[in-house]
Structure 1
Amino acid sequence: MGAVRGILVVAVVLAVATILAGAAEGKVNGKAKGKYRALFNFGDSLADAGNLLANGVDFRLATAQLPYGQTFPGHPTGRCSDGRLVVDHLADEFGLPLLPPSKLKNSSFAHGANFAITGATALDTPYFEAKGLGAVVWNSGALLTQIQWFRDLKPFFCNSTKAECDEFYANSLFVVGEFGGNDYNAPLFAGKGLEEAYKFMPDVIQAISDGIEQLIAEGARELIVPGVMPTGCFPVYLNMLDEPADGYGPQSGCVRRYNTFSWVHNAHLKRMLEKLRPKHPNVRIIYGDYYTPVIQFMLQPEKFGFYKQLPRACCGAPGSVAKAAYNFNVTAKCGEAGATACDDPSTHWSWDGIHLTEAAYGHIARVGYKGGIGLSKA
């Protein structure tokens, strides 16, 4: 149970952020480097820059050990990667300093904060408890909890008139997610299967909608709401599942039905955003599509400088003989005894079988910034 619980604290889907598209035409807007005064990020382990560690979690946590952080900054920071995350690359694109974790004491929040924390869900803990999953989900900061953290830090962002605070938020970018990965992990890792996970979907989407509404009420005027990644491409799931031969994509090696599940979540998320926009005509709400990039990493790896291979974790250890190619072992995860890292993480898109490498995050951030994949009004 301890090993499974360790998996549950991380999301399988990528926390995303891109420059906003034009509200009417879906084009990249005119906000170039230096135009945003601040960046606010909410999410889970795909965007956690150190909140879990700053929150007082045991230093023996795997993400507090090398090789996490080996590429940047050369030591562990609490990021679940070898280096920078998408939000870090995004801050750099806008000429902003890397966002400090909101829980880090004595930090300057003049340019925003990162509220993401490992284990975060869209839904609150009582929801899982009511479904008998309270013992297997670790919710260290659900979406609405993170928004309360945002409210609590308001004096550090603006402490003058309401008009000045509104102006500050209006010139800031809010990245909401991704959320949903850990919500679905609860039934999936408890062995309840996709049928049960599908039942969670309407409530997950509603929780994300509620969070967006609350941020708009606080003054947010430009928001990116990322979708989830193709779950069936990640080694953590590939190691866990036994599929018939025709259950895998012939080129990608991903599990089709799990990718379909992720696609359905994203379709519902986009539909929800379409309903929100007319309610808030003066707010830009942009969907971040990062389902597509991981599929591209799998189908055209050489284009991004990655090895052509089955989905494989750079950092980990082989599991069973039949699934050794995925390099994921629940009893020897990255940062734990028995696990090792590949020589060059930049040749892999998957870092630890659950999260991505700095190289993968960098590709996604740069492509999104240039107005390619990942930008969508719908």
Structure 2
Amino acid sequence: MVGARGMVLAVLAVAILAGAEADANAKGKYRALFNFGDSLADAGNLIATGVDFRLATAQLPYGQTYFERPTGRCSDGRLVIDHLAQAFGLPFLPPSKVKNSSFAHGANFAITGATALDTPYFEAKGLGAVVWNSGALLTQIQWFRDLKPFFCNSTKEECDRFYANSLFVVGEFGGNDYNAPLFAGKGLEEVYKFMPDVIQAISDGIEQLIAEGARELIVPGVMPTGCFPVYLNMLNEPADGYGSRSGCVRRYNTFSWVHNAHLKRALEKLRPKHPNVRIIYGDYYTPVVQFMLEPEKFGFYKQLPRACCGAPGSVAKAAYNFNVTAKCGEPGATACADPTTHWNWDGIHLTEAAYGHIAKAVGFKGGIGL
């Protein structure tokens, strides 16, 4: 009769074998990856454009954990797309704007500040001065078209086969679209009016990529806005406006949830139109909520939403460790000793550890072999 210790070892062995089998199935699944998005997915496109100011994300401690140097990623290390690339046995995707790169296994078109909607949309609403749009979704898709000769320069059939064996990650998009009116002082009721247009822009972008040959796409939703120190630092909600367990602002999280609900509905409408295309919703919202409610499960400290890298603001907001005048990478800001114990990196973006957990969750739920 097998003892308790033997049973535990047997269970662990099965789990290890299952994990190894999943890893083996994931590797070689795709010939290439293509990534579109904003600062949550930018692997260096913004700094490749030769910005003429001292960009914080081009300075340490950004990149310290994995790369041991700043790469233009808005994190201490790898992003979701980096974790996915490694899981599939592919190299990190080169930023599309970096010259002399090899795009044999795809490219990363994401760039910090990107929106789903084009700049004229914001200008028409009087927000041209507050939106910083370095490459909206349709602009990034045009960059993708421009690089097509580097991916496949033979027949249309050859290109179709290449794209059919590639994974396209589209987003998340929407965060910066909503930031423009929010940071301009508009209330949430006004920002809700942007939502139908944001969702339509994402849907239009997906259709354009399908027309270009994409056959498998992950479309991530937005994260729970009310859990991020950048917003918590500027909001003054009544006591009952915060989650009793999470410390997040309820109405801002509701806003993010509604966006995701509309996005999922839009994807449901697209699927029957394209029966030969697989469109997967990427849930970035739930993992962040879990980081707040069950931090120990992921190796994170249990605390109020707090930036690993930053500086305390006002006394009342000091717990969030976010100060707009001393942001991560700027004078006065410091990084926590161990970023693996935090899910939030700089008040706006996530740590490498958090992105790793999200990549696994998306891969598992999406059935893409992780």
Deviation of 1:236 after TM superposition, in Å, equals 0.3
Q: How many residues align?
A: 369
Alignment root-mean-square deviation, CA? 10.3
Deviation of 1:199 after TM superposition, in Å, equals 0.4
Of 40, 45, 57 in structure 2, the residue corresponding to residue 51 of structure 1 is 45
Higher relative contact order (CA 8 A, sep 6+): 1
Alignment-derived partner of residue 21 in structure 2: 25
SS class of match (1:21):
helix
List per-residue Cα deviations over 1:158-198 (Å, max 9, x = no partner).
00000000000000000000000000000000001111110
Of 63, 86, 92 in structure 2, the residue corresponding to residue 92 of structure 1 is 86
Contact residue 114 and residue 136 of structure 2 kept, 8 A: yes
- Structure 2 CA distance, aligned partners of 1:301 and 1:208? 32
CA pair 28-326 structure 1, distance change in 2 beyond 3 A: farther
Deviation of 1:57 after TM superposition, in Å, equals 1.1
SS class of match (1:236):
helix
Deviation of 1:12 after TM superposition, in Å, equals 43
List per-residue Cα deviations over 1:279-316 (Å, max 9, x = no partner).
00000001011110000000000000000000000000
- Structure 2 CA distance, aligned partners of 1:180 and 1:11? 46
**Poorly superposed stretches of 4+, deviation over 6 Å:** 1-6, 9-17, 19-22, 24-29, 370-375
Deviation of 1:342 after TM superposition, in Å, equals 0.4
Hey, which of these two has a bigger chunk of helix by percent?
Answer: 2
- Structure 1 CA distance, aligned partners of 2:192 and 2:149? 40
- The yes-or-no answer on 1:13 pairing with 2:8 is no
CA pair 21-110 structure 1, distance change in 2 beyond 3 A: farther
List per-residue Cα deviations over 1:247-294 (Å, max 9, x = no partner).
000000000000000000000000000000000000000101111000
Contact residue 280 and residue 366 of structure 2 kept, 8 A: no
- Structure 2 CA distance, aligned partners of 1:302 and 1:160? 51
List per-residue Cα deviations over 1:140-173 (Å, max 9, x = no partner).
0000000000000000000000000000000000
Deviation of 1:112 after TM superposition, in Å, equals 0.1
- Structure 2 CA distance, aligned partners of 1:336 and 1:14? 45
- Structure 2 CA distance, aligned partners of 1:194 and 1:3? 59
Deviation of 1:13 after TM superposition, in Å, equals 37
Contact residue 23 and residue 87 of structure 2 kept, 8 A: no
- Structure 2 CA distance, aligned partners of 1:222 and 1:171? 8
- Structure 2 CA distance, aligned partners of 1:166 and 1:172? 10
CA pair 57-5 structure 1, distance change in 2 beyond 3 A: farther
Of 54, 59, 70 in structure 1, the residue corresponding to residue 64 of structure 2 is 70
Deviation of 1:369 after TM superposition, in Å, equals 4.0
Contact residue 46 and residue 355 of structure 1 kept, 8 A: yes
Identity %: 91
- Structure 2 CA distance, aligned partners of 1:349 and 1:166? 39
Deviation of 1:72 after TM superposition, in Å, equals 1.8
- Structure 2 CA distance, aligned partners of 1:76 and 1:51? 13
List per-residue Cα deviations over 1:10-55 (Å, max 9, x = no partner).
99999999x9999x999999xx211200000000000000000001
Contact residue 249 and residue 256 of structure 1 kept, 8 A: yes
Deviation of 1:374 after TM superposition, in Å, equals 13
Contact residue 288 and residue 374 of structure 1 kept, 8 A: no
Contact residue 120 and residue 143 of structure 1 kept, 8 A: yes
Contact residue 11 and residue 354 of structure 1 kept, 8 A: no
- Structure 2 CA distance, aligned partners of 1:2 and 1:358? 40
Contact residue 172 and residue 222 of structure 2 kept, 8 A: yes
Query: TM-score when scaled to structure 1?
Result: 0.90
CA pair 4-108 structure 1, distance change in 2 beyond 3 A: farther
CA pair 241-44 structure 1, distance change in 2 beyond 3 A: same
- Structure 2 CA distance, aligned partners of 1:58 and 1:289? 36
CA pair 3-26 structure 1, distance change in 2 beyond 3 A: closer
Contact residue 168 and residue 216 of structure 2 kept, 8 A: yes
Unaligned runs of 5+ in 1: none
List per-residue Cα deviations over 1:349-376 (Å, max 9, x = no partner).
000000000010111112634769999x
Contact residue 310 and residue 346 of structure 2 kept, 8 A: yes
Of 313, 318, 326 in structure 1, the residue corresponding to residue 320 of structure 2 is 326
- Structure 1 CA distance, aligned partners of 2:171 and 2:38? 7
CA pair 14-155 structure 1, distance change in 2 beyond 3 A: farther
Contact residue 16 and residue 87 of structure 1 kept, 8 A: no
Query: TM-score when scaled to structure 2?
Result: 0.92
- Structure 2 CA distance, aligned partners of 1:373 and 1:89? 13
- Structure 1 CA distance, aligned partners of 2:88 and 2:155? 26
- Structure 2 CA distance, aligned partners of 1:192 and 1:13? 54
Alignment-derived partner of residue 313 in structure 1: 307
CA pair 361-270 structure 1, distance change in 2 beyond 3 A: same
CA pair 96-11 structure 1, distance change in 2 beyond 3 A: farther
CA pair 139-70 structure 1, distance change in 2 beyond 3 A: same
